[in-house]
A and B are shown apart, each in its own frame.
Chain A
Amino acid sequence: MATMVQVESQDLSALGNRAAIAMCGTDTSYRAFLAACKTILEGLHDDVEQVRIYLLDPVDRMLREEAVVDHFGGQEGSDLIPLYQLSEEVTTKLVGSQHHMGDQWEILVPLPVETQIAGVLALVSFQKFPPHLEERILRLGRSLALGALYVRRSREAERSMQLLKAVTDTSAKLQGLEGRNILLENFVTTAVEAFGFDRATIFVLDDDGAKVKSALCARAGFGVFQLPEIPELPPLADQPAPHPHLPGLWIPIRMGSRRLGVMFVDNIYSLEAPSRDVLQPLVDLASQAALALENARLIERLRETALRDDLTGLYRSGYFLERVREELANSRRRKDSTGLVMVDLDHFKLINDTYGHPVGDEVLIRVADRIRQNLRVGDTACRKGGDEFIVLVPNLTADQGGKMAQRLIEEIRASPVELPDGRLVEIGVSVGVALFPTHAGNWQDLWSRADEALYQAKQAGRGCWSLWNTQSRLSLGG
C-alpha cells in the first residue's frame, strides 16, 4: 500500500494556515500564490511533485491557475479550467477528486468558502493519494481557502480603486480640454486603457436624439478613429444593457431626459466577460461624457451664433475666409477646382430709399434664402457685407459655375418681396464666378477674380453673370 509519510504525519491545517498567511501580504499578484505553493511543497516535498493553485473568477466561472511550483522552481500559472469541467465532487460535495495522468496522480482539492469554492489546490504525486488521507488533505484546502479569499477580496478592492481613479483622472483631464472630438477621444481611450476593454465606441446622436451623427472608436493598441460608416444600431435603451451575444455593454449618455449618445464597450476579440464592478464606474464615465457633450454643444452653438450674420443667418466673412483657405488646400490635394460665386444686388440703394430699410432687410433675407436653397453639401455661403454675398463651391467646373449663377439670377428674380399693400418689389442680382486653380493660384487672387467678374457683369447691364477668363478676360451670360 502506498504511503505518504509527510501527508500522514503533518498537521495539514497548520500547513494550510502557513500557506494562507504567505498569501496575506501587500502583493496580491500571482506571487502571493507562488509563496503559498512553495510553502506547501516544502511541507510535503517527499510526497508531492508539483503544487498548483487555481482561483475562481466568479464572473466567467473560470478557474485560473495562479501559480505552479515543482522541485525545479515555480512560475506564474497559465492554465484555465471552466468550472463546469470540474467534477461535482469538488464543486458541490467539496471533496477531493483524484485522477491518473500518465505516470502521475493528481488530486484536486476544493478551497471552500461556505458551500461554494473560491478555488482549487492541485497536488501531483507519483503515488496515488490513499483514501484514508483525504480528510487530512481537505483540511489543508480549508485553511488555504482563507488566503485565497483574502487575495480575491484585495484584488476586488484594488480594482475598484483603479476604476475610481480612472474616472476621477478623466474628470481632471477634461477640465483643460475643449472641443467635442478631443473630449470624446478621452472617454473612449479611458474605457480601453483604464477599464481594459478591447474596444470602446461612442455614438453621438443628433439634437433630436434620434439619429447617430458621428461615431468615434478606440481599439486597444491601435488608437482612436472616426467610424467611416455609421453602423445600424439596435434600439437604444434608457438603462445600461448588455449585448445579447458579446461581452459588451451599452451605456446610454443622457442629460436629464435628453439622449445625447451611447457608449458601447466590448471585448469582441478577447471574449472575456467584463467584471461586475465595472458597470458603475462606466455609468459615472457616461455621466461625465454627457456633461462634456452638453457643454461642447453649448459652446458650439455660441460659436456658431458668433460666426453668423444676425440678419440672414449666413456666415460672416471672417469664418468664410477660413473656410476658403481650408477648401483651397483640400482642392489642391484632390486636384480638382473650387469656385467662388459672388452675388451682388442690383439697385439695392434704390429699394432702401424707395421702400425703407425694413423692406431692404426683407430683400436681403429673401436673397440669402434663395442662395441657401442652392447650396450642396460642402458649399458655404457668406454675407460679405451690405448687399454682397459670396458662395464657396468645392469641386466646381466652369460649366457648373455658369449654370449655378444663372439659376440664382432666375430664382431670385422669381421671388419678389410682397409689400403690405400688395405691390411686389422685384429683386435683381449680378453674379461673378472665378475658379481655383484655373483662374487664380491663391485665395486673394481668387477673391479678386470673382470681384472682377462681378464688376464685368454689372458693366454688362446687370441681371447677368460672368465667368473670369484668362483669354477674353470675361465671358458673359444671363
Chain B
Amino acid sequence: MVAFIILAVLLVTAGVGVITLRQPVHAALSLVAGILALAAIYVTLEAHFLAAIQVIVYAGAVMVLFLFVIMLLNVGRTRAASLKWLKPAAWVTGALSLAAVVTVVFVVQQPLPEFAVIDAALRGGNADAVGDALFTDHLLSFHLVGVLLLVGIVGAVALVQQTVPARRTRQGVAQQEPQDAPELVAAGEGN
C-alpha cells in the first residue's frame, strides 16, 4: 500500500504537470516521469512484461519522437484560450466524471482473490505468459496490429516525405551550375 501511494502521488503529480506546464518540452518530460511511475505500478499488478514494454516503447520510442517533433517545430508559448469559460468548464467536467467513476467503482467493490490464485493465473505476467495469450487466443488481433503498424509507418513517411523531390531538383540544378552549388545546398538543408 505504501509503494502504491508513493507511485500514485508521483503519477498524479506528473499528470498535472503534463496539462499545466507551459513549455511543451517540460510537459513531455513530465509525461516521461509519469510513464516511468506507471511502469512501476504495472510491476505491482503482476504485469512485468508490460512494464518493460512501457519503458522501452513509451519512454524510449514514443517520447523521443515527441521531443524530436517539439524541437523540430520549435513551438513556443501559446496564447490564452479565446473562450473564457472553456478552462473552468473543462476542470468541472473532469472533476465530475472523476467523481462518477470513483463512486461507481467503490460502490460495487469486489474482493481480490488470494495471491496464490493470481500468481497461478497470471504467471507473473512475463513474456512467456503474455506471448502465450497473444499467439493463441489473440492471434488475429496481433496480426491486425501488425498491419496497422505497417500502415502507420507508410502513412507517416508519406506525410513527411513530400519535399524530397523538390530537393532533388535543386541538387540537379546545383550540379549543372557548380559555382552556385554551396549556397543552394545550404539553402536546401535550411528547410
Q: Bound pair: A and B?
A: no
